[in-house]
Amino acid sequence: MSLQPLTGAKKLRQLLKDPNNLVLCPGVYDGLTARLALSIGFDAIYMTGAGTSMSRLGWADLGLATLDNMRSNAEMIASLDPAVPVIADADTGYGGPIMVSRTVTQYARSGVAALHIEDQAQQKRCGHLLGKVIVDREEYFARLSAACQARDATESDIVIIARTDARQTYGFDEALERLQKAVEIGVDVVFFEALESKEEARKVCEVFKKTNTPVLLNMVPGGVTPAMSAQEAKEVGFRIMIVPGLCIAPVIRSVTEEMEHLKNQGTPTQLNANEGVVRGFKLCGMEECMEIDRKAGGKAYDTVGETKN
């Protein structure tokens, strides 16, 4: 229930001014994973589209999530601590230039610090899956132009990130040229999806270093791009590194184990009993809410403490 001003976009722009800084962003997809990331003290966090689709819809990332699904989730995450930038997936922008303009405007008004828009067709899929359909240059550039115009018209600090998925279908040179044109259009950051080697990564970073344009690395373990640590990514020249699936595998593994234990033993594990819900409540702002009530003269939560559940 943070009452801080919406400063995430300005903070992100400040972080990106330092050419030697790498903004490391864990992937989150709901309020609880976002709270965990905030409690660890990351400078920025990333709202994953794949995680949003799975957690909110229960479906794989195959373009089923709508603007309303994505924006409302991003707004909730950004509102938890407006001083911490949230970079959010915005897929294709959800339509032609008019819809892209609406998407950028709504994300900006929701407190999102940055969003990325890609050149896949509307029937999109995760960037590390095969079979992606890529739109032609004119359609892609129209999306980016609309995004930049919306940013400028609303006098927003929101960071526009141009993502290209063209490497798989049309090759490295075509993808690079698309991003170079994106910079001419006015985007703030470039995102070369599914780089296939560290040599490609170095070349991309070298090209955009000339225009002082930050390059984002999408680190998907087991994906197309070779594994890199944050330090390695920084040495290559990346300025932002997102790890979208960070929370997904641990949650699936641990919750499956807990449910299997309940199914087989008829009782939760001792870990579940020890943790309880109070730790979750504290993580998710219980004490902050109690303080607001107390300062306002309320007494509704004076006796809130450990629960038996």
pLDDT by residue (tens digit) across 216-251? 999 998 889 999 999 999 999 999 999 999 999 999
- Per-residue pLDDT at 174: 98
Q: Considering the chain, what is the average pLDDT of its residues?
A: 92
- Per-residue pLDDT at 53: 96
Assigned CATH for 8-247 = 3.20.20.60
Cα separation, 249 vs 48, in Å, equals: 13
For the chain, the structural domain boundaries read 8-247, 252-306
Number of Cα atoms under 13 Å in the Cβ half of residue 13: 13
Q: Model pTM greater than 0.75?
A: yes
% of the chain exceeding 90 in pLDDT:
79
- Joined together, the tokens standing for residue 73 give 């989730």
Cα separation, 126 vs 179, in Å, equals: 19
Mean pLDDT of 246-271: 93
- Per-residue pLDDT at 126: 57
- Per-residue pLDDT at 129: 56
147-203 pLDDT, tens digit each: 999 999 999 999 999 999 999 999 999 999 999 999 999 999 999 999 999 999 999
**φ/ψ (deg, to 5) at 93:** 95, -5
**In which band, very low, low, confident or very high, does the pLDDT at 7 lie, cut at 50, 70 and 90?**
confident
CB contact at 8 A, 222 and 24: no
Q: Among 213-217, 230-234, 263-267, 280-284, whose mean pLDDT is lowest? A: 280-284
Number of Cα atoms under 13 Å in the Cβ half of residue 209: 14
Cα separation, 159 vs 193, in Å, equals: 18
pLDDT over 60 at 71, yes or no: yes
Mean pLDDT of 26-33: 98
CB contact at 8 A, 35 and 63: no
36: region left, alpha or beta (phi > 0 left; psi from -120 to 50 alpha): alpha
Q: Which of 60, 37, 57 is nearest to 47 (CA)?
A: 37
CB contact at 8 A, 238 and 19: no
Mean pLDDT of 102-110: 97
